[in-house]
Amino acid sequence: MINLSGIRKLFKTKDGIVTAVDRVDLEIKDGEIFGIIGYSGAGKSTLIRMLNSLERPSEGTVTIAGKEMSSLKGKSLRKARQEISMIFQHFNLLWSRTVSENIGFPLEIAGVPKEQRQKRVEELIKLVGLEGRGGSYPSQLSGGQKQRVGIARALANNPKVLLCDEATSALDPKTTDSILELLVDINKKLGLTIVLITHEMHVIRKICHRVAVMEAGKVVEMGPVLDVFKKPQAGITKQFVKQVTDPEETKDTISHIIEEESGKVVQLSFIGEETEKPLITKIIRKFDIEVNILQGKISQTQEGAYGTLFIQIDGDVVEIDRAIAFIREEGVQVEVIDHV
């Protein structure tokens, strides 16, 4: 279904040339759920943007359903792009439009008549489990419901491939599960090929058939998810696998904690030389906020520390935002997973 051959993508920056994707060969099968995992900066977004023709490869070819994307222009490119749809971490909904209008938007653009559009929107609302919410505005929905709108909108034009860009990273663990279940359901019902990029191994384990692990623009490991979990080869894959030793238990505890606690709950994914403690101490010293470690697992090896932590940050909103920016500057992956 999707074939990437010798793909490279270079960006010119003021500091020189950045190789975002470096000689990637991939084949994604029809009807497969394929995961691409890597830490920030690994090249995942650039890769997925080339699948969507939002970026052109500097070298190599992208072939989708037998069509080489770089050879297409104008109408045929637009048609090929309609067969590939995308959902996003922050949903990218139109805030001034209702759920039905958001879902029907691609059909409106494609000039589908109103009556036909309404019928299709009804079908999609049912498919994603949003019955009765067609007239609501995005601001009246929970995160999970917003992503359901995103999924329904992405399916409006009957695509063959759904690209998911960190689609569950802004959701709490229980909602993440329900969205992943919906994706599996859609994959089975519609035979849709799904490609998802994530930095969370539990997402890969839960729904993907095969996975490619990316580091510094390269695919360093690829294979069926069960094989990769059983026998990870690359050092970075071993780290990802260790992060999900007991994800089910962690997720249940975290959603329970989120229900009880106030403040912003933040998930930190560590990989580096430092353990969590110096960082937490630095945050407390630098900002006028309280930080509690709710849950997590940090492992220390000779190469350094890695793991995942859930912390709750209490205090002034501006200070919390500055603290989160500070954590990112320290090179730690951070996701705000809920705000109660």
Give the binding site for ligand ADP (CB under 6 A).
11, 13, 18, 20, 38, 40-46
Parallel, antiparallel, or unpaired: how do β-strands 289-301 and 218-224 relate?
unpaired
CB of 166 to ligand ADP, least distance (A): 8
CB of 36 to ligand ADP, least distance (A): 9
Q: Which is nearer to ligand ADP, 101 or 335 (CB)?
A: 335
Q: Which is nearer to ligand ADP, 38 or 57 (CB)?
A: 38
CB atoms under 10 Å from CB of 290, counted, come to 12
CB atoms under 10 Å from CB of 49, counted, come to 18
Q: Which is nearer to ligand ADP, 13 or 302 (CB)?
A: 13
Listed in sequence order, the residues at least 6 apart from 54 whose beta carbon sits closer than 8 Å to its beta carbon are none
Q: Which is nearer to ligand ADP, 12 or 285 (CB)?
A: 12
CB of 12 to ligand ADP, least distance (A): 8
Q: Which is nearer to ligand ADP, 216 or 284 (CB)?
A: 216
Going by C-alpha positions, the residue among 198, 197, 139, 151 that lies closest to residue 178 is 151
CB of 273 to ligand ADP, least distance (A): 20
CB of 19 to ligand ADP, least distance (A): 8
Q: Which is nearer to ligand ADP, 43 or 263 (CB)?
A: 43
CB of 164 to ligand ADP, least distance (A): 13
Q: How many residues in total does the chain contain?
A: 340
Q: Which is nearer to ligand ADP, 43 or 159 (CB)?
A: 43
CB of 40 to ligand ADP, least distance (A): 4
Q: Which is nearer to ligand ADP, 89 or 100 (CB)?
A: 89
CB of 45 to ligand ADP, least distance (A): 3
Helix 173-190 and helix 247-260: axis angle, to 10°? 130
Q: Which is nearer to ligand ADP, 44 or 146 (CB)?
A: 44
CB of 13 to ligand ADP, least distance (A): 5
| Cβ(81)–Cβ(154) below 8 Å | no
Using H for helix, E for strand and C for coil, what is the string for the chain?
Answer: CEEEEEEEEEEEECCEEEEEEEEEEEEECCCCEEEEECCCCCCHHHHHHHHCCCCCCCEEEEEECCEEHHHCCHHHHHHHHHCEEEEECCCCCCCCCCHHHHHHHHHHHCCCCHHHHHHHHHHHHHHCCCCCCCCCCHHHCCHHHHHHHHHHHHHCCCCCEEEEECCCCCCCHHHHHHHHHHHHHHHHHHCCEEEEEECCHHHHHHHCCEEEEEECCEEEEEEEHHHHHHCCCCHHHHHHHHCCCCHHHHHHHHHHHHHHCCCEEEEEEEEECCCHHHHHHHHHHHCCEEEEEEEEEEEEECCEEEEEEEEEEEECHHHHHHHHHHHHHCCCEEEEEEEC
